[in-house]
Structure 1
Amino acid sequence: MPTDASLGPVDEIPLPGGNVGGAVRVGDTVRRPTGPWTPAVHELLRFLDEAGLPLIPRVLGIDDRGREILTFLPGRVLDIGRETLTDTQIRSAMHWLRDFHAVVAGFPRESRRWRFVERALEPGEIICHHDAAMYNMAFAADELAGVFDWDVAGPGIPLDDVAIFAWNTAVLFPDADAAEVAHALRTIADGYGGLDPHDLLDRVIVRMTESANRIEAAQTAGDPGMLRLGTVGEPASTRARIAVLAARLPELHEALST
């Protein structure tokens, strides 16, 4: 049984998911692997916490095994592929995402080492979560209760975060009914506010292509977390789904227009 200097003997409970690095729960904390990007991510989380953004983990430090220590976020994570978000859950997530983007716009814009890039923010960019998907969100009934897994945060535009959320809800399955996809995209766009669902749909293609390229480049560079994604078929699986979605764009845009 592992020990913690402040807690004594403790149990480690593996948390679901973890294709990139894996995480364990230790009491009311979460322990996760670190990397060269960790200082920037911790700076970001501390900035957001000090700014009063709710539903994010707080940074507690590094343990004696070199893992980051974060506060555990309660709530239930829906089983992606088996459960779907309700409209109310979507709106709750989008309200939080809009608030996050408003707060993070004040984050210092100088160059930092993020997981996929080291550079300063360009005009129009913010630091995005970059994996704001339902598998990284916990809910208490219909309300968002927490957003975790911030290790791929980095420069992007706000629509990137909305697009990856949509990818894992409205257009998760290539054979999803067009009317259902259109409804979900409208709900996401309305929940965030000020978005055109047609623009959102088009951005999904761009954002997920960029994601596949980043994963592939990181695998070539030897990133252990991205190499683990390769064992579950990424980014080939994402590229195949992008091709199906791209072929359906005329049908889906028509559904959005009716």
Structure 2
Amino acid sequence: MPSDSIVTPDGPADEIPLPGGNVGGAVRVGDTVRRPTGPWTPAVHELLHFLADAGLPRIPRVLGIDARDREILTFLPGRVLDIGRETLSDAQVRSAMHWLREYHAVVAGFPRESRRWRFVERALRPGEIVCHHDSAMYNMAFDGDDLAGVFDWDVAGPGIPLDDVAIFAWNTAVLFPDADPAEAAHVLRTIADSYGDLDPHAVLEHVVVRMTDAADRIAAAQAAGDPGMLRLGTVGEPAATRARLAVLGARLPELHAALDAG
């Protein structure tokens, strides 16, 4: 762990379970968040320290490890929208994509040597950065239209910038792959335009690539006994993702046509 890690007593009576938490089971204690650790935690903490030192906003700060071997992070205030019941506004999408572009620019300077991440242990390849890999609306807090925080960094690891854009699109533009194609196309264009230098058609195509890879990673981690990924199995993953991908794949021509019509 980082040299400045600390060990503090935890106070179970003061713990408040945070919503979501299908992978980690996070709890709030005062102004901190406690989450389970794993072999990937040193790399994630090194990443968060690097980003903090570089001045990247809206990320949790690493405070150490508690007496139950859980990481201690600063709590990020803001409102997390209820995925599947609420939708992000165009302004919220723009704010999230502006931050994501900034994150990718900053993290490009992260050392490229081999590290143990959650799903892989290797160095970064040419063209890769360390992606958040779960940059979805359920891991983002908002203050009105402005992004206030991005949390749940435990699956960070090697990837390309489009991976992070694609998983955001999966949970917004094509959250319901059988929905109105014009609405999906509008969100895809907003994502691509707000991130900058992206073709919405390329984002749409990469959603299939990225989420197929995600389903495969989850399945492999479940077979290896990863407790967090096994918890995802209790909510139907990766089968639910594969089912949604089948619907999306069948509708790709219609969605591309809607993008062209726009």
TM interval, shorter chain, is: over 0.9
1:10–1:26 contact (8 Å) kept in structure 2 = no
What is the number of equivalent residue pairs in this alignment? Answer: 255
Consecutive aligned runs of 4 or more in structure 1 exceeding 3 Å deviation: 4-10
* Pairing partner for 2:227 from 215, 224, 232: 224
In the alignment, residue 60 of structure 2 is paired with which amino acid? Answer: P
Query: What TM-score, normalized to structure 1?
Result: 0.97
Aligned to 1:168: 171
Q: 1:33 aligns with which of 33, 36, 39?
A: 36
Deviation at 1:9, TM superposition (A): 8.0
Q: What's the offset of the Cα at 1:240?
A: 0.5
Partner in structure 2 of residue 197 of structure 1:
200
What's the counterpart of residue 49 of structure 2? Answer: 46
Return the match for 1:110 from 94, 109, 113: 113
Give yes or no for contact 1:13–1:26 (8 Å, CA) kept in 2. yes
1:98-147 Cα distance to aligned partner (Å, 9 max, x none) = 00000000000000000000000000000000000000000000000000
Residue of structure 2 equivalent to 1:250: 253
Inter-partner Cα distance in structure 2 for 1:8 and 1:236: 37
Secondary structure of 1:88's counterpart equals: helix
The CA distance in 2 between the partners of 1:115 and 1:5, in whole Å, is: 25
- Identity, % of aligned pairs? 83
Check conservation: 2:10, 2:66, Cα contact below 8 A: no
Q: 1:7 to 1:220 in 2, by over 3 A?
A: closer
Cross-structure match for 1:13: 16
Q: Distance in 1 between matches of 2:81 and 2:169?
A: 15
Q: Which runs of 5+ in 1 are unaligned?
A: none
Deviation at 1:176, TM superposition (A): 1.1
What is the alpha-carbon distance in structure 2 between the residues aligned to residue 225 and residue 255 of structure 1?
Answer: 38
Change (3 A) 1:44 1:185: same
CA RMSD for the aligned pairs? 1.2
Cα deviation, residue 8, structure 1: 7.1
How much does 1:5 deviate? 5.0
Q: Normalization by structure 2: what TM-score?
A: 0.96
Q: 1:21 Cα deviation (Å)?
A: 1.5
C-alpha distance after superposition, 1:203-237 (max 9, x if no partner)? 00000000000000000000000001001000000
